[in-house]
Amino acid sequence: MHDDPEQTPAKRGRPRSLTEDQVVDAAVQLAKSVRLENVTMRALAQALGVPVMTIYNYVPNKDALNERVVDAVLRPVAVPAPEAGTWEERLKQLERDARRALAEFPGLSLDRPYSAEGRRLAEGVMSILGDAGFRPTDASLAFATLFTFMVGQIDLDLEVAELRGPGADAVLSAARAAELSPDEIFEFGFDAVIEGLKAKLGPA
Amino acid sequence: MHDDPEQTPAKRGRPRSLTEDQVVDAAVQLAKSVRLENVTMRALAQALGVPVMTIYNYVPNKDALNERVVDAVLRPVAVPAPEAGTWEERLKQLERDARRALAEFPGLSLDRPYSAEGRRLAEGVMSILGDAGFRPTDASLAFATLFTFMVGQIDLDLEVAELRGPGADAVLSAARAAELSPDEIFEFGFDAVIEGLKAKLGPA
DNA sequence: ACCTGAACACCGTTCAAGT
DNA sequence: ACCTGAACACCGTTCAAGT
């Protein structure tokens, strides 16, 4: 009964010099200027002012760290409630928020392996599609289309951000010639996708 | 006049042990089972039966090698001629071919930096959109939407291929529950995008 | 001329020793 | 109990020497 290690943390041993949040936050900051995959454990340790191996007391390895960074970035993205508007408006707001959240982080994508936050957003989209009245199979197809569009859009955003200047690139030069901003491209594409989904699913 | 080094290759010095095509082809083969970024120069050298540094006689560095691999994979993808069908059919065939070509290669994407073949395909899509009667700004918007969809689709294909089994993934579990194949998802999504583009651009 | 061994400047991570 | 230096098994690539 007495001496329960859960109740009495018993500050024995060396005190922790960091918290997990500090480690993840520092990695998030570094991921703003360098692609997440290129954030090195050594650079992270230096930013935290600790030896490299100390990080491994807070995070099992780099993959796990990356997952927590993605979670931290996606956490602020809300799933709009039913009262927030029509299903089209709710989806658009969700995808716009996600895109904005990810835009600060070069090369941070929604893809594999799915984080807890990624799953939350995926379920949010599915539930909005359910509210819209789509039956399960149709909702899955619509989800896949929206997800596909979203991943591609983030990739396009990255290219626009990186390829400033000399990169004589057919894709972007066409967009540049027409003076299209990434936001305009997103709005147009998203509306087209929604329109297409309604056309394909509406008559059922 | 005499002794022109261009006309008379003059087999002096050590003979080349490889050709550039051999190097690229070997890299293409390795990229079928390992993501291109994870194909190491050392593994490539071993597959070719030469010391690592020999590769640098044929290719300046790994980035350039990767670009040539992407070009080699994309080269067989044709831009359907005007006689091949309606602009919708031509676009669909092009994107389906590109998707199939890339499907064999895990993690091979259309994105940055654009290869010569990628540029050829991009210009092909733009010309098909021109044939369809889209004016330049509209064609750019439509192109960006199609490109976005394509990049996302390839990413989705990769995840479907990789996440066999335990990965309890919301995105794919929904698709699996509905027994949707990647091809069905592609067909549906592509048609929806085309439908949306027509709806947005048609009334103009 | 072309080839290539040795070496360098990086990675992530294991392992055993330190307090 | 928590921390961490040294070392290991990798990378891509430079550089100088070999034929």
What chain B residue is nearest to A162 in terms of C-alpha separation? B112
Higher pLDDT, B114 or A90: A90
Contact positions of strand D to protein Cβ (< 7 A): 1-6, 10-15, 18-19
The model's confidence at residue B118, banded by pLDDT at 50, 70 and 90, is confident
B18 touches chain A (CB under 8 A): no
Contact A199 B192 (CB under 8 A): yes
The model's confidence at residue B175, banded by pLDDT at 50, 70 and 90, is low
Q: What per-residue confidence (pLDDT) applies to B178?
A: 63
Q: What per-residue confidence (pLDDT) applies to B111?
A: 62
Q: What per-residue confidence (pLDDT) applies to B35?
A: 92
pLDDT in tens, A144-196: 999 999 988 888 888 777 654 333 355 556 556 567 888 999 999 999 999 99
Q: What is the mean pLDDT of chain B?
A: 84
Residues in chain B, how many? 204
Residues of chain A with Cβ-Cβ distance to B111 below 8 Å are 155, 158-159
CB of A56 lies under 7 Å from some atom of strand C:
yes
pLDDT in tens, B18-75: 999 999 999 999 999 999 999 999 999 999 999 999 999 999 999 999 999 999 999 9
Spatial distance from the CA of A36 to the C1' of D6 (Å): 28
Q: What per-residue confidence (pLDDT) applies to A7?
A: 37
Q: What per-residue confidence (pLDDT) applies to A200?
A: 82
Per-residue pLDDT at B184 exceeds 50: yes
| CA distance readout (Å), B95 to A102, B71, B103, B186 | 27, 16, 12, 10
Per-residue pLDDT at A75 exceeds 70: yes
Contact A169 B119 (CB under 8 A): yes
Spatial distance from the CA of B12 to the C1' of C1 (Å): 7
Q: What per-residue confidence (pLDDT) applies to A84?
A: 97
- pTM value surpassing 0.85: yes
Q: What per-residue confidence (pLDDT) applies to B13?
A: 62
Lowest mean pLDDT among A114-123, A166-175, B140-149, B162-171: B162-171
B204 touches chain A (CB under 8 A): no
Average pLDDT over residues B8-13: 51
Residues of chain A with Cβ-Cβ distance to B189 below 8 Å are 141, 144-145, 148
Which phi and psi (to 5°) does residue A83 adopt? -70, -10
Percent of chain A at pLDDT exceeding 90: 60
Residue A9 CB neighbours (<10 A)? 7
pLDDT in tens, A20-29: 999 999 999 9
Chain A and chain B share a number of CB contacts under 8 A equal to 185
Contact B182, B156 (CB under 8 A): yes
Q: What per-residue confidence (pLDDT) applies to B196?
A: 95
Q: What per-residue confidence (pLDDT) applies to B80?
A: 98
Q: What per-residue confidence (pLDDT) applies to A98?
A: 94
Smallest CA–C1' separation from A64, nucleotide: C12
Average pLDDT over residues B162-168: 43
Contact B148 A147 (CB under 8 A): no
B27 touches chain A (CB under 8 A): no
Per-residue pLDDT at A53 exceeds 80: yes
Percent of chain B at pLDDT exceeding 90: 61
Buried b (16+ CB within 10 A) or exposed e, A53-92: eebeebbeebeebbbbbbebbbeebebbeeeeeebbebbb
Q: What per-residue confidence (pLDDT) applies to B108?
A: 82
Spatial distance from the CA of A23 to the C1' of C17 (Å): 25
Lowest mean pLDDT among B16-30, B131-145, B169-183: B169-183
DSSP A91-107: HHHHHHHHHHHHHTSTT
Higher pLDDT, B110 or A83: A83
What chain A residue is nearest to B200 in terms of C-alpha separation? A192
Lowest mean pLDDT among A4-8, B60-64, B136-140: A4-8
A144 touches chain B (CB under 8 A): yes
Contact A170 B123 (CB under 8 A): yes
Average pLDDT over residues B180-196: 92
